[in-house]
Amino acid sequence: MRLNVHAFGPEDGEPVLALHGVTGHGRRYVHLAAAALPDRRVLAVDLRGHGRSGWDPPWDVATHLADLHGTLDAEGVTAPVDVLGHSFGGLLGLGLVATAPERVRRAVLLDPAIALPVAICRQRAEAAAATAGWASMEDALAARREGIAESGQGFLEEEVAEHVEERADGRFWSRFSPPAAAVAWSEMSRPAPIPVTPRPILVVRALRDDYVQDAALLAPLERAIGSDLEVVGIDVQHILYWEALDETAEEVRRFLS
């Protein structure tokens, strides 16, 4: 599937492939792209089952990776590309490094959701499958504000305007497929895809959440790629590019400069 692409930056800029998290969309990268990579061409996709891309199954990691290859080809990107992935997008970014190192130059994984505890993934998958929408846009915005620190609240009206739509049932829904999100949570419980061919990887961990797994992700990554792995932390919750845009942008800019 050729994915919908939100493109930021100059058309002749060196490309960066940006991958959002489960239930998200590519336009979430608009501010991070401007702050961190103003001279780069950031290609922020809507993953299958999300946003304005097609929603047809299957929704497993292998299919997502095939979609990314097809979309890079369609965009004319043939040289190795820098990859930026948040949460489930971090899993896909690492999956690209592991399965197609010839396509990846470097990877930045923002609080990647990889090899998570099974119980957490089951709970999140069941919650995603039971999504029921909201009675109004105001209710959608109020729900989105829950759990987001004050520093990230300024992005939420834009987020809801982009990602919530009224459907035929009169309710307001986020633009993602609940079954696709449930499958993504299942995939996040699998063992980490560890690269055989090293590529420089930066993991930016959100210190107020527990997505990044030391034993299941960082330890095997370090054994596999050694000094090509760098890990830094930012004292915020999971959506770093909302709660700490400037700090997140600085780490991305530094690593991909």
Average confidence (pLDDT) over 230-240:
98
Whether 177 is catalytic = no
Pick one of 3.30.930.10, 3.40.50.1820, 3.40.50.720, 3.50.50.60 as the CATH number of 5-116+177-256.
3.40.50.1820
pLDDT tens for 65-102 read 999 999 999 999 999 999 999 999 999 999 999 999 99
**Global confidence as pTM:** 0.97
Sheet hosting strand 15-19, strand order edge to edge: 5-8, 41-45, 15-19, 81-86, 104-110, 201-206, 229-234
| Token pair listed for 50 | 């999300």
Whether 214 is catalytic = yes
Quote the pLDDT of residue 147. 83
Domain ranges of the chain: 5-116+177-256
Whether 87 is catalytic = yes
- From the list 152, 132, 150, 149, the residue with the least C-alpha distance to 140 is 132
Which listed residue (25, 50, 163, 238) is catalytic? 238
The answer to whether 85 and 19 have CB atoms below 8 angstroms apart is: yes
Which listed residue (39, 56, 214, 235) is catalytic? 214
Tell me the average pLDDT of the chain: 97
pLDDT tens for 132-150 read 899 999 999 999 998 898 8
Which listed residue (87, 174, 177, 189) is catalytic? 87
pLDDT tens for 36-66 read 999 999 999 999 999 999 999 999 999 999 9
Give the pLDDT band (50/70/90) at residue 182.
very high
